[in-house]
Amino acid sequence: MAKSAEIIIDGKSYKFPIVEGSEGELGIDIGNLLEETGAVTLDFGYKNTGATKSAITFLDGDKGILRYRGYSIEELAAKSSFLEVSYLLIFGELPTQEQLKKFTNDIKNHTMVHEDIKKILDGFPSTSHPMGVLASLFCAQTAFYPESLDPNRSVEGVYLSIIRSLAKMPTFAAWAYKNAVGHPVNYPDNTLDYCSRFLKMMFALPAEHYEIDPVVADALDKLLILHADHEQNCSTSTVRIVGSSKASIYSSISAGINALWGPLHGGANQEVILMLEQIKKDGGDTDKWIAKAKDKNDPFRLMGFGHRVYKNFDPRAKIIKKAADDVLAKLGVNDPTLEIAMKLEEVALKDPYFVERRLYPNVDFYSGIIYRALGIPVDMFTVMFAMGRLPGWIAQWKELRENKEPIGRPRQIYTGKNLREYVPITKR
Ligand code: MLT
């Protein structure tokens, strides 16, 4: 028998169908709620609201499960590459060898950006945060490819925009960094793979040979896979809501980059490193800082602990912790902030205060440490997250479009003044 939910308002009962996802999750379909009852739902932060039906990513926060298109994140991180995972997220299936070759070549053919982009870049002072520069350059593509503004773009046209997005992202990201350090930009070297190409554009200096370290390139590839999608998080919801107005792929993703920038979202990994540095500078007494985190009257809070949807552990954090250990050992990095991080982790996992509140380390806790070991500066951490999240944003934007979803337009409960008469300025 079909399941339904009953809502009673002023003694009158209304029935709403329950929809079931492929993993058994239930959602009350309240599509007709306002029309039938005159009421809306109120859900600050959308903690209980399913905004869409999606076939891209499955996440079970209680069990710590994350899957892209049905494949476990553990298996993808161990066996796949970032471009393979990008293809999977965007087109729904793992590519064949031929498909991956074409996809990779198509991307290579579009890594260059228009020379006039450099004029835009030159307009930014070197004090600009690379995330702001990245979002601006990404959106600027609408000016160079005005055909992307057509809401009824053909399938081939959309494919080209997808390829351009993936191809130019590492170029924009590396250039945003070069702008911040005041160095000349490097052009993409298409003899290299996706991550190596980015590393060379980011780190190579004029007239100096830059040797790609495969340990660094592989670790980066894995990090990008771990960040590639995370269902309806803040930046993805932003991409979907902007895309629902039929804005172009470039402006929708630019909006996602801006949403990711905040310290409560992608900016969290940067906050973790700043916190570890602060503890180190103070002498490294982790007990003192744990006590501060527990003290209600102390504004200090542990960054990188707990997660809105994971209730026991973040599966990405497990993989990334192991990767951090491997990378640090292989690169011979001895990072004292890592020791502080390990001590914090150990205490927090045992202390009832953190256990009861389910505050265990999340993906941001370790990603900062590993980015640092790879030589990525702190201001670039969130940019790395954006590079990883790009295929997820693209897949979600494409799905929204293919499902012909309506424009996003939430309602509200108005709590302001009732109608009152205008008072002339002389009488106020
Ligand atoms: C993410 O990967 O987007 C973050 O963990 C935040 C989230 O899912 O809400």
Give the pLDDT confidence of 256-310 residue by residue, as tens digits. Answer: 999 999 999 998 988 999 999 999 999 999 999 999 999 999 999 889 998 989 9
Is there a domain that residue 360 lies in? yes
Taking each helix axis from N to C terminus, what angle separates 363-373 and 336-350, rounded to the nearest 10 degrees?
170
Query: pLDDT value at position 326?
Result: 84
> Ligand 1 centre from 265 Cα, in Å?
7
Let me know whether 167 and 253 are in one domain: yes
- What's the gap in Å between 271 CA and the centre of ligand 1? 15
> For residue 9, how many other CB atoms are within 10 A of its CB?
11
Segments of 283-416 assigned E as strands: none
- Tokens representing 61 are 């926060």
The answer to whether residue 419 sits within a structural domain is no
Ligand 1 atom 7: residue of nearest CA: 233
CB 266 within 8 A of CB 130: no
The answer on 233 and 167 residing in a single domain is yes
Ligand 1 atom with the smallest distance to the CA of 227 is 2
Q: Give the catalytic positions in this structure.
A: 307, 364
232 and 322 in a common domain: no
Beta strand residue intervals within 121-189, DSSP E: none
In angstroms, what CA-CA distances link 324 with 215, 328, 367? 11, 6, 8
Would you say residue 418 lies in a domain?
no
| 175, 265, 346, 355, 367 from 306: Cα distances, Å | 33, 12, 14, 10, 15
Atom of ligand 1 nearest to the CA of 265: 6
The answer to whether residues 85 and 391 touch, using CB atoms and an 8 Å cutoff, is yes
The per-residue pLDDT for 1 is 64
Alpha-carbon torsion (117, 118, 120, 121), positive or negative: positive
Q: Which of 56, 66, 230, 365 to mutate to test the pocket of ligand 1 (most atoms within 8 A of CB)?
A: 230
- The region, left, alpha or beta by phi > 0 then psi within -120 to 50, assigned to residue 424 is beta
Residue to mutate (ligand 1; options 57, 225, 240, 265; most atoms within 8 A of CB): 265
245 φψ region: left (φ > 0), alpha (ψ -120 to 50), beta (else): alpha
Q: List, in order, residues 6 or more apart from 249 with CB less than 8 Å away.
A: 148, 158, 161, 162, 165, 243, 394, 397
Tally the domains of the chain: 3
As a whole number of angstroms, the distance between CA 411 and CA 418 comes to 18
Do 251 and 277 lie in one domain? The reply is no
pLDDT of residue 338: 81
**In this structure, is the dihedral angle defined by the CA atoms of residues 136, 141, 142 and 148, taken in order, positive or negative?**
negative
Question: What was the pLDDT predicted at 334?
Answer: 81
> In this predicted structure, what is the pLDDT of residue 31?
95
Which CATH number characterizes residue 337's domain?
Answer: 1.10.230.10
3-class secondary-structure state, position 4: strand
User: Which residues of the chain fall below pLDDT 50?
Assistant: none
For residue 92, tell me if it sits in a domain. yes
| C-alpha of residue 120 to centroid of ligand 1, in Å | 31
- Give me the domain span that covers residue 61: 4-65
How many Cα atoms occupy the beta-carbon half-sphere of 139 within 13 Å?
Answer: 16
Of ligand 1's listed atoms, the one at least distance from the Cα of 314 is 5
270 C-alpha to ligand 1 centroid (Å): 15
Average pLDDT, the chain: 95
Residues 77 and 137 in one domain: yes
**Residues β-bridged to residue 15:** 6
Q: How far apart are CA 278 and CA 385, in angstroms?
A: 23
Q: What is the pLDDT of residue 88?
A: 98
